[in-house]
Structure 1
């Protein structure tokens, strides 16, 4: 593309005629069934635009929404407007996927991004709360007024309670670099004396906490192209067809074409299973370790395990390979064979717990043991449980028992290593050096000064506690303040008490359920309206230039722009900006990345292509340790794969943190006494129509998939529920109401709801959208992580 043309398109102001045409179209929405739609208006505006006798220009860009795929988006621009969207058509693919340059095509969400920028629901002015917090009453103010209010509240709270009273909330809909307010606010607060930091995440917190006890590192997955060498692939709580994990879908399809079998292990028959799998093994949520122990029993009793691999590389698999100082009977073999508790972990034992028939457990164990290379690929779905740390460790147990670690086509454990070498937006060290688990921010609002090391606080001396409760929250385009956090009713009770957290700032595009509980709301920009650099989630092998293709609507500012104004008001502008604009930082990051990797493209090349695809990248995790164990040991205390962790043993919490990955029954699991009152397990899955909670108000995505509760025909018949009936799902924490989908694609005893529906309570407090977190609990897992899949409930006709 001609550089002068590119510059004129990205820098020019939108013509007044075009702006008025669009603003007229997007500010008079129609309301149908509670969902904002504007089809006729949108179509009319589109038609007028297309008829303009103006040349159409195509600019490559990428979404920075918190979506795993990060697809290549090509914006077709005419008269300063996006008239349509296309996606990757890399000619190196010759219209088919290949191993080196898989196309990065948009999914159904990406195809609807034009709806994102031109939505009639966008916030257009800074808003100041005028009613009680949570009432949703706001008045419009100017940007200058908003910046002054934030600065005054920031200074007041910092002076009264100290800098540790300020917190940047986890989760954001903008996951770029300098375009992510979540990143930029931490830089600003670091220069302003520090803040209460955070660690972990809601998605893979248990994986991150548990994996180092087995391998000594957090990342144990290989690159997706190694799946092409697999003969059997088990997707354990992994649903890439809907969540979109980089190129994984494409490589799974290619692996299947090469003859690999694909099985899914999940309570729900996912879209991944329907599209790619040869078989489905449904088990009850949270019982995965019982299944794996029974599979190990089959392998041990039928001599199907790889004893040579275990003896050479592992610790804790049997009594001959245990750390010093541990009494007899504590190895994994002893546990599986029931030598200490007189309960052999037979397939019959596991069938009663998991709901998977005995013969199916035996079948799976034999196939997994006898097929090599075998990739047991762990998704994040298995770790968001109250016993998620143990589920995470046990899934790596199977890889060790079968010798499928360190070989191409095998798979060691969860979390893929980072492939892209890229210089990100610089964040200084937090001067305070203290941080809390992300899931415990509501705890830190209520009882922060009581929280210490035992609560997961990092950076404190033993016996010390946090110096302050959270008094100020910056919520940067995130919906975890309310909607994506657990126990919504309890959470809003905490937030409504203005004597606790005294000031909440939200920067967002829409009036989300979280934004409603803010004191000040700032209208930010979509990714179409700013420049940024962004990479995919794990398992991807590319970096994008997310290019600005149109001017911001309504005078919206990017987070970097308004924070630069705030930094000036706080007297730290020089330190914060270093004299750079957002565009300058984007160029700087690309230039610095090119210094590290000479093959990385220049800024002008990235403008032209939009994406840099790293080629010939293959990561076989722990290959070096397996090939040369003497010189390249595992980063564990023993230098081996620790199936038994002496570190965990020394914590002396065998019931909830055992040293080997045992089946741990939980308070809201299928073995609980609570099932007498709430007999159904309920969880939320990541659905193809949303990325987390983004897109919930999109009428196009509502056509893709409605918000409905899935229930098995057996459970539905017991409750006289028919397909399409309105039902209530409830427990002691609250009630949600939504239509029922009666389907055998979810196993008996389990119901599920697409997570991310926007909380919408009626006058009686009953949520009418199906916000799953009305029913989830605030208690954290043993390593202070998110257990939002561990819940019991009942369902009845509404």
Structure 2
């Protein structure tokens, strides 16, 4: 519908939508109560859920633009604005608050954020508390767990819902203790802070996004921002054009962190060449005309070892390939002369690569058989990595989300170090990820803390969750099914003593430290899901179904009917970040939890984004934190112990505490001007301050962006500049630590790292000890296992390697219920064109992807840009189960989690090998799939709405009714 199309009025649209929603509810109440029934039919009589409101109000200026903080999982923190008329967001736009320029860029949103209205006003919003019809409290047969995922629902009141939850918590704690309560969510989620206050829980300690980069990053001498490894150390946007070549290793920023493409294309315009390394030639590589270095899934360590072999060979033949000054001064362990003082093995990395210890030189010919990279490409890459070339090596974490990738980060660092690509303009080696993508370096806007502190006492710290309370890695569901789990640490970031380190305090608290593996008991009677969707995003889905169905009680805090909610007994509706209420006359005060995961520092490097509630809470949705506070009170505890600050105080203190680094690096200056009048207006008592922009103006603009230039002293090259921080007074500039020494035991980059080896070997889980350097070992579920006989190259039962790329239309499972993005980005399975032809598969065919763990259906899209033997399954879809045969479930939604199990990595138990899937694909001979945007939206089916107020289906009418009351 065009901006000036006046053919339909907004209220007519809303009433039409309301009528359609009511019709859909009645249809479900009549018996279409199973969630997988949504697979049938085009829309079930519902109005198209991609319809939009009319533009008259925008054209006539009847409302106002308000800022939206878009921060669901991709962490790009882009700016969106919502046009609000009578309490309804009728339009969205992105940043136009100032003229766009390279020095002061607009903070533009992507198609996901700009479609958020379809998430907020979606047919699958959870409108009110619901109970699964067949479930009754008390456990045992009362639960009727066999019906989870396919039962109908009944509407209940908030008081009934919370009574059920609290009574079940008390019962389970009394009968089973804390081992019976499962926090089916991230430890850092706001709701997770409740459990230590009311009696404890068992948590998860996986490294979801970061793979093995979370393993030993700082122990190797690199840098982590909190738990974000190898980040903020790449060159910034002004230095990228100084590189001759930029390598994108296993990443696709055009899909994952699309704003970074602006900085990368700017470098390309300046003459910088690009190289892409990975199993498929993706959108970023194509956009940047990158040279493709083919590497099979999970074989990166073998590839990099061969690159290092060639660097050694080429340097011996002609010199000027290895930067020996850098190696000798800034690294340890490459040669006998550079071994660290704590080394226990008489082995150095150079001699290992040359085959001195295993009689296997890591030649290109050796690697090519494993990784599929042409020998000449390996040699070319080694030439590129040489000291005389200005190269920036940028990686994401996809290549480390394979089983057996423990040594990949160390090998990646070693290639960069041998060429001396640290601390110099036009050189670099670090992650390209989230807010840091493409414009790296220390934040020019940081939070001062102190009086402005805003982060709740969350349980990200293992000291809070306590020892032995974390199930590690991919065994999450299997351990709960078996009732036992192995723990190797008190938490993934707990620093303890080490026999390899005389002074362990030299290592930062971000360095994981492990102990001997211990077996612990777990008895999952009550599972509470909050701020997560583990059934849809966690591997071993078949086991997850069994765990959820054998529990006594499953509770889910939800915005929409996620897969986790579908398997719950009690669903509690929570507000989105658009919704809140600061008007006591309207009813219960509500303010959305400010940052989703409690980490307000996830803003961009040089921009502060505004946001505030746009609309009052829809239906009966409540703020999640307020619900947890009430549960704590009903349990007889003090909610302030979990949540010492209100959401409102956090929100306001977040903005007022922000400081911009002065262009001359002399001080940190307030961003926001705050006056006595502001304190009175906003019912606050914060200190007044003179900043860059008045608070009300900042909210109207939607953002504040630093103005920079090519000669700005704040511009950055990693490992050269000091990393700056905020002094204890909240104002002064201090040096957090200089680029050197590094945060490792030696203070250098550790090509040989004794701490790494001792730390992991102490667990006693592996058959063979891990080496202190990046040695090669055969990974579990890797390329070799696609063969029945590796020596004769006889292919096995599951000859294809599948990996699970993040997809432009969603961030994990966030955004995935929006029809606009569903239509723009279908839910395919990508495979090599020759592999497809061999199987008689053509584009558009419904195919079954299967292995010994499960089966799922998707629509095939053969491509020439996939390596033979590889399959890409975009991650995060909502399952639609065909359970006609309970022993042989087929997922018609196409979740890749059906194809994995609880297999642990070779050495690092926290790693979930999302990309280590061995499968077969065949053309499906049953009913073909329709596209998911052609299905009816996932709706909380089976709820009788006959007694519900009519305005529940119409947000505008709801606000009108509330004003009349």
1:583 to 648, 652, 676: 648
Change over 3 Å in CA distance of 1:777–1:330 after alignment to 2: farther
Partners of 2:186 and 2:650 in 1: CA distance? 22
Partners of 2:288 and 2:14 in 1: CA distance? 45
Structure 1 partner of 2:621:
556
1:774 to 887, 890, 898: 898
Matches within 5 A, 1:279-294: 279-294=291-306
Preserved CA contact (<8 Å) 1:533 1:545: no
Partners of 1:458 and 1:68 in 2: CA distance? 21
Change over 3 Å in CA distance of 1:32–1:628 after alignment to 2: closer
Preserved CA contact (<8 Å) 1:193 1:431: no
1:186 shift after superposition: 2.7
SS at match of 1:59: strand
Structure 2 partner of 1:9:
none
Structure 2 partner of 1:641:
749
Partners of 2:124 and 2:741 in 1: CA distance? 55
Structure 1 partner of 2:149:
134
Q: Which moved more, 1:716-725 or 1:608-617?
A: 608-617
Change over 3 Å in CA distance of 1:360–1:339 after alignment to 2: same
Matches within 5 A, 1:245-644: 247-303=259-315, 304-323=321-340, 330-369=347-386, 372-414=389-431, 419=443, 421-422=446-447, 423-427=453-457, 431-434=464-467, 435-436=469-470, 437=472, 439-446=474-481, 451-453=486-488, 466=520, 468-480=522-534, 482-498=535-551, 502-530=552-580, 531=592, 533-534=594-595, 540-572=605-637, 575=640, 581-593=646-658, 598-601=669-672, 603-613=695-705, 617-623=714-720, 632-644=740-752
Structure 2 partner of 1:46:
53
Q: Which moved more, 1:744-753 or 1:216-225?
A: 216-225
Preserved CA contact (<8 Å) 1:644 1:660: yes
1:323 shift after superposition: 3.4
Q: Which moved more, 1:133-142 or 1:328-337?
A: 328-337
1:170 shift after superposition: 3.4
Partners of 1:457 and 1:366 in 2: CA distance? 38
Matches within 5 A, 1:645-660: 645-650=753-758, 652=761, 655=768, 657-660=770-773
Structure 2 partner of 1:227:
240
Partners of 2:808 and 2:411 in 1: CA distance? 28
Preserved CA contact (<8 Å) 2:385 2:416: no
2:869 to 727, 749, 762: 749
Partners of 1:463 and 1:710 in 2: CA distance? 39
- Aligned pair count reads 766
Preserved CA contact (<8 Å) 1:561 1:582: no
Change over 3 Å in CA distance of 1:559–1:615 after alignment to 2: farther
TM-score (norm: length of structure 2)? 0.73
SS at match of 1:483: helix
The Cα offsets for residues 308-365 of structure 1, whole Å up to 9 and x where unpaired, read as 1111111111222223575777322112211222222122222111111111221222
Structure 1 partner of 2:194:
188
The Cα offsets for residues 278-321 of structure 1, whole Å up to 9 and x where unpaired, read as 21222101111111111112211111111111111111112222
Matches within 5 A, 1:31-42: none
Structure 2 partner of 1:6:
none
1:704 shift after superposition: 0.9
Partners of 2:163 and 2:738 in 1: CA distance? 61
Preserved CA contact (<8 Å) 2:394 2:430: yes
Partners of 1:615 and 1:193 in 2: CA distance? 49
Structure 1 partner of 2:804:
684
1:216 shift after superposition: 5.8
Partners of 1:578 and 1:497 in 2: CA distance? 32
The Cα offsets for residues 664-708 of structure 1, whole Å up to 9 and x where unpaired, read as 322321122455111110111111111112233332122212111
Partners of 1:81 and 1:148 in 2: CA distance? 33
Q: Which moved more, 1:572-581 or 1:430-439?
A: 572-581
Preserved CA contact (<8 Å) 2:831 2:861: yes
- Gap runs ≥5 in structure 2: 1-9, 28-37, 135-146, 316-320, 448-452, 495-513, 581-591, 661-666, 674-694, 709-713, 724-734, 789-794, 925-965
Partners of 1:538 and 1:440 in 2: CA distance? 33
Flag the structure with larger Rg: 2
The Cα offsets for residues 542-591 of structure 1, whole Å up to 9 and x where unpaired, read as 34333211122212112123223323323345525878653233123334
Superposed CA RMSD in Å reads 3.5
Structure 2 partner of 1:66:
73
Partners of 1:527 and 1:160 in 2: CA distance? 37
Partners of 2:568 and 2:50 in 1: CA distance? 34
Partners of 1:555 and 1:160 in 2: CA distance? 33
Preserved CA contact (<8 Å) 2:76 2:604: no
Structure 2 partner of 1:239:
252
Change over 3 Å in CA distance of 1:44–1:270 after alignment to 2: closer
Partners of 1:628 and 1:543 in 2: CA distance? 22
1:383 shift after superposition: 1.1
Change over 3 Å in CA distance of 1:536–1:372 after alignment to 2: farther
SS at match of 1:289: helix
1:45 shift after superposition: 6.7
Q: Which moved more, 1:122-131 or 1:395-404?
A: 122-131
Preserved CA contact (<8 Å) 2:323 2:387: no
Matches within 5 A, 1:163-202: 163=178, 165-170=180-185, 183-202=189-208
Change over 3 Å in CA distance of 1:594–1:316 after alignment to 2: closer
TM-score (norm: length of structure 1)? 0.87
Partners of 1:709 and 1:18 in 2: CA distance? 36
Preserved CA contact (<8 Å) 1:777 1:788: no
SS at match of 1:685: coil
Partners of 2:743 and 2:899 in 1: CA distance? 40
Partners of 2:493 and 2:642 in 1: CA distance? 29
1:444 shift after superposition: 4.7
Q: Which moved more, 1:458-467 or 1:143-152?
A: 458-467
- Gap runs ≥5 in structure 1: 1-14, 173-181
1:767 shift after superposition: 1.2
Preserved CA contact (<8 Å) 1:332 1:660: yes
SS at match of 1:779: coil
1:755 shift after superposition: 0.9
Partners of 1:119 and 1:629 in 2: CA distance? 48
Change over 3 Å in CA distance of 1:76–1:339 after alignment to 2: same
Partners of 1:756 and 1:90 in 2: CA distance? 34
SS at match of 2:743: coil
Q: Which moved more, 1:647-656 or 1:368-377?
A: 647-656
Partners of 2:306 and 2:817 in 1: CA distance? 44
Structure 2 partner of 1:177:
none
1:210 to 202, 216, 223: 216
Partners of 2:473 and 2:365 in 1: CA distance? 39
1:92 shift after superposition: 4.1
1:21 shift after superposition: 6.8
